[in-house]
Amino acid sequence: MSSLNLDDFTDLIERPDGGMRRDAEARRERQIVPPGALGRLDELGEWLAAAQSAVPVRPIERPKVVLFAGDHGIAELGVSGRPAGSAAELVREVMEGGRPASVLARRLGVPVRVVDMALDCDPETLPAEVAGYRVRRGSGRIDIEDALTPEEAEAAFRAGVAVADEEADSGTDLVVLGDVSVGGTTAAGTLIAALCGTDASVVTGRGGQAIDDLAWMRKCAAIRDALRRARPVLGDQLLLLATVGGADLAALTGFLLQSAVRKMPVILDGVVVAACALVGQRIAFRAPDWWLAGQNSGEPGQAKALDRMALEPLLDHGVTVGEGAGALLALPLVQAAAALAAELPEKPEVSEKPTDAEKPTDAEVLEKE
């Protein structure tokens, strides 16, 4: 009998501090630059104040990129631009510094953590700190079988919770969250279509490798078939992740919810993370208040999920590569908002009484008379 009760997250997750947000708004009105002149940065600064429960806002000094990795059996159908089972190669490239996320993180001075949940490789070929939470080798082919057993789904979800606790305990003050997967966008599209009640064609995108029309049609058919298996279990989010998600997606969902419990802000990357956030919203409706949408990747499923959660992307660069790269591009914007909110001086107070210099002289008084 499982001791995991997802309903607990509804009670554990509080909204960001509304009182601090009002104090931040009042402080913003007193600063030398008129409110609204900084556009979205004003809103971000106030959001950070509420998330941190601090006015003035503290600078973002210890951000972290956290990537959950896994292979998906559905990639065997040719729905991805990469070969099935090749996500481990991407992970190694990230760790060696040769992927877009690696370059951006290095330039921004942000450490990267990769967590293997279901890579299709020998775990001995990966560092222990990467493979320590692995649940299984690859997730099942969701059009004809479950991605995970219920026990594996719970283990993956708990792993995500544990990683969030580790990051919060280590002092991470903001997470850039992404995935490293092959076939993950197909599972994500299935989750989004199921939760939004839409058809497969509405959520099927081209993925990180820009697949051709034939591959897109195969992907659309795979999501359609997986949707038939998803709809009967919509009332149980953990079972939904087991049926049509995957170990990396279950872990991402657990991470997102526990980050909200720990009041640790998260920048969401692409469609895979957006799908997990949507599952998280179903579990705890206040959780999205702790998340920012880093960018609009151009994936239709991501747009659908973000719209359902009322999250507006910070950037619109169409970055579909995954790995947290698009969300990393938004990090300097968030850091700039924190700096401006904290460091812009306030307008000098206007004294109601005239100073000695402002008082008329005796000669001026006589002249007026």
Burial of 247 (0-12, 13-18, 19+ CB in 10 A): buried
Instruction: HSE, CB side, 13 Å, CA atoms: give it for residue 329.
Output: 21
Token code pair at residue 82: 């990469």
pLDDT digit string (tens) for 134-152?
A: 999 999 999 999 999 999 9
Residue 1: the pLDDT is 47
Give, in order, the Cα–Cα distances in Å from 165 to each of 76, 110, 170, 257, 368.
Answer: 34, 19, 8, 11, 75
Q: What is the DSSP letter of 178?
A: E
Is 365's pLDDT higher than 60? no
Domains of the chain: 8-57+343-368 (1.10.1610), 63-333 (3.40.50.10210)
Percent of the chain past pLDDT 70, that is, above it, reads 93
- DSSP-derived secondary structure for 223-257: HHHHHHHHGGGTT-HHHHHHHHT-HHHHHHHHHHH
- Residue closest to 62 by CA, chosen among 164, 177, 168, 172: 172
Neighbouring CB atoms inside 10 A of 345's CB total 9
- Would you call 323 a catalytic residue per the annotation? yes
Asked whether 113 and 66 are in contact (CB, 8 A), the reply is yes
* Cβ atoms of residues 314 and 330 within 8 Å: yes
Summarised one tens digit per residue, pLDDT across range 54-77 is 999 999 999 999 999 999 999 999
Angle, CA of 326, 319 and 39, to the nearest 5°: 60
Distance CA 31, CA 27 (A): 7
Active-site choice (323, 352, 364, 367)? 323
pLDDT cut 90: percent of the chain above it: 88
Both tokens of 229, joined, read: 């298996």
Alpha carbons within 13 A on the beta-carbon side of 296: 13
Confidence at residue 240, expressed as pLDDT on a 0 to 100 scale: 98
* Bridge partners (DSSP) listed for residue 177: 66, 268
Distance CA 229, CA 233 (A): 8
Reported as a single tens digit per residue, the pLDDT across 97-110 is 999 999 999 999 99
pLDDT at position 35 over 50: yes
Structure tokens at 40: 């979205």
Task: Return mean pLDDT, the chain.
Answer: 93
User: What is the spatial distance between Cα 188 and Cα 339, in angstroms, rounded to a whole number?
Assistant: 35
How would residue 170 be classed by pLDDT, with cut points 50, 70 and 90? Answer: very high
Cα(first)–Cα(last) distance of the chain, in Å?
Answer: 95
Q: What is the DSSP string of 257-312?
A: HHHHHTT--EEE-SHHHHHHHHHHHHH-TTGGGGEEE-B--S-HHHHHHHHHHT--
CA angle (247 as vertex; 291, 200 as ends), nearest 5: 75
Q: Give the largest Cα separation in the chain, rounded.
A: 99
Of 61, 55, 10, nearest to 28 by C-alpha is 55
Q: What is the tens place of the pLDDT at every residue in 194-230?
A: 999 999 999 998 876 678 899 999 999 999 999 999 9
DSSP 8-state code for residue 360: P
Q: Which of 268, 259, 306, 294 is nearest to 16 (CA)?
A: 259
pLDDT in the model for residue 127 = 92
The three state secondary structure string of 101-140 is HHHHHHHHCCCEEEEEEECCCCHHHCCHHHHCCCCCCCEC
pLDDT digits (tens, 9 = 90+) for 154-166: 999 999 999 999 9
* DSSP annotation of 67: E
Both tokens assigned to 122: 């020998």
C-alpha 110: how far from its chain's center? Answer: 16
